[in-house]
Structure 1
Amino acid sequence: MTTVSLSKDRQEGRDETEVRARILDAAFASFMASGYAATSTLEIATRARVSKRELYALVGNKKEMLVACISARATRLQVPADLPVPRDRETLAHVLTSLGTQLVREITDPTVIAVFRLAIAEAVHAPEVAQALDSTGRETSRAALRQIMARAQASGLLNGRPAELAEQFSGLLWGNLMVSLLLGVAKRPNSREVAARARNAAAVFLQLHPLP
């Protein structure tokens, strides 16, 4: 293959990536404005300034577009893979506070809340949407918490099953906030409130689980 051909292929690849991103942005905007059922592929194609042929070739049908929209935005729920190993209770408190702060800050973002609402609205008719949100976003944060608890347990800082400990910390961290945000009866906490929520959750959690 010639250099010219390679360059052309790369350019076409970049163009397709940009067009696909534009389609997904248009689809998400349409779903949020009109709801999934009332949104047509023609509306999405028009908003994205593409043909329906391009739309189907680059993304797929309407349900596939919805899953792709959810999956793309669910990556905001992912957490760093290189979390520090807690060697003492002070470090454990710091790790839990840092992770808790990140989770609340990202998940309470209006775009993420909109994704949850969309997934809930389509849970009966398109369960794969909720499954995409759960596996792409929520499970990564749950896995990170389980990993922290397992490491703390291995270091002799905690007793109990990592999965149960992670669920307990999540409950302390969130309380009723997520439900209130989904219902639109609470405002998104500011950065100071987010930090305080995470710090308090970590402190209460460690009080409930003194050194073995």
Structure 2
Amino acid sequence: MTTPSRSKRPQQSGDEAAVRGRILEAAFAAFMKNGYAAASTNEIATHARVSKRELYALVGNKQEMLIACISERAKRLQVPAELPVPHDRETLARILSAFGTQLVREISDPTVIAVFRLAIAETTQAPEVARTLDAIGGGTSRAALRKIMTQAQKAGLLDSRPTELVEQFYGLLMGNLMTGLLLGVVERPKPREIALRARHATDAFLQLHPGANNAPV
């Protein structure tokens, strides 16, 4: 099954956007409470105080609601617009550290962890949850990081393929944190711990990749 594309809907008015927000909040709550497969559109419509007709018109079916819920959270994993283009190692280090801090902060959010647990629990009944989460949530963060790596490679600061660089940095940054959070055996790191984790991952990553402009002659 391919991941469905997001529906193209007309631009909404302020009132419609508010109603759509209520629908997504109700849908997310229903998914967390009952699981994706057992959540009903009737329950979602009731809690959102809308008719089923409005629900389908403003958001769509249950799968489209799931995609919208995940997509809203995935927006926070994009590269911040204010990050500079890396032109030297010092700038690249600042960019990777800032992005790493943002990524760990967002991924370790209890709501995001709840979504991952939902995807795991629904692997058999509703495998589309995991596919959607991986395509939209994981895809967004990796695409943002790949953009940084591609820019750094073009500037001669890194000398490997961007896709490989993304996976290496991601591994150094996350380590076993996600497993621990999903199992509930570790607590969400505090802001200072997150920043320190990002810095250490950045330092280790740059030591592994001296780059074309920094390689020994």
User: Scaled by the length of structure 1, what TM-score is found?
Assistant: 0.84
Secondary structure in 2 matching 1:26: helix
Tell me, in whole angstroms, the C-alpha distance in 1 between the residues paired with 2:152 and 2:64. Answer: 40
> Cα distance, 1:81 vs. partner?
4.3
Q: CA deviation at 1:82?
A: 5.1
Deviation at 1:74? 2.1
Give the match for residue 103 of structure 1: 103
**Alignment match, 1:160:** 160
* Cα gap change, 1:89 to 1:64, in 2 (>3 Å): closer
1:9 maps to what in 2? none
| Cross-structure match for 1:192 | 192
Q: Which moved more, 1:180-189 or 1:193-202?
A: 180-189
Q: Structure 1: how far apart are the matches of 2:60 and 2:149?
A: 40
For residue 118 of structure 1, report the CA deviation from its aligned partner.
2.4
Q: Distance in 2 between matches of 1:87 and 1:54?
A: 50
Decide whether aligned partners of structure 1 residues 71 and 125 sit closer, same or farther in structure 2, where only a CA change above 3 A counts. farther
The structure that has the greater radius of gyration is 1
| Separation in 1, partners of 2:47, 2:58 | 15
Provide the rounded CA distance (Å) in 2 between the counterparts of 1:196 and 1:61: 42
For 1:17, the equivalent position in structure 2 comes to: 17
Q: Does residue 44 of structure 2 align to residue 49 of structure 1?
A: no
Structural RMSD (CA): 2.1
Pairing 1:69–2:56 present: no
Deviations 1:3-24 (A, max 9, x none): xxxxxxxxx8332222121111
Contact 1:86 1:155 in 2 (8 A): yes
For 1:179 and 1:147, the matched residues in 2 are separated by 26
Structure 2 residue 91 is matched with structure 1 residue 91 = yes
User: Residues 72, 145 of structure 1: CA spacing in aligned structure 2 closer, same or farther, 3 A cutoff?
Assistant: closer
The residue number in structure 2 matching 1:28 is 28
Q: 1:117 is matched with which residue?
A: 117
Q: In 2, are the aligned partners of 1:75 and 1:136 still within 8 Å (CA)?
A: no
Cα deviation 1:83-106 (Å, max 9, x = unaligned): 322222222211111111111111
Aligned counterpart, 1:182: 182
CA contact (8 A) 1:77 1:106 kept: yes
Q: CA deviation at 1:77?
A: 2.0
**Aligned counterpart, 1:6:** none
Identity of matched residues, %: 71
Tell me by how many angstroms 1:127 deviates: 4.2
Report the structure, 1 or 2, having the larger helix content: 1
Whether contact under 8 Å (1:78, 1:137) holds in the other structure is no
Please give the per-residue CA displacement for 1:60-82, whole angstroms capped at 9, x wherever unaligned. 33233222222222222222245
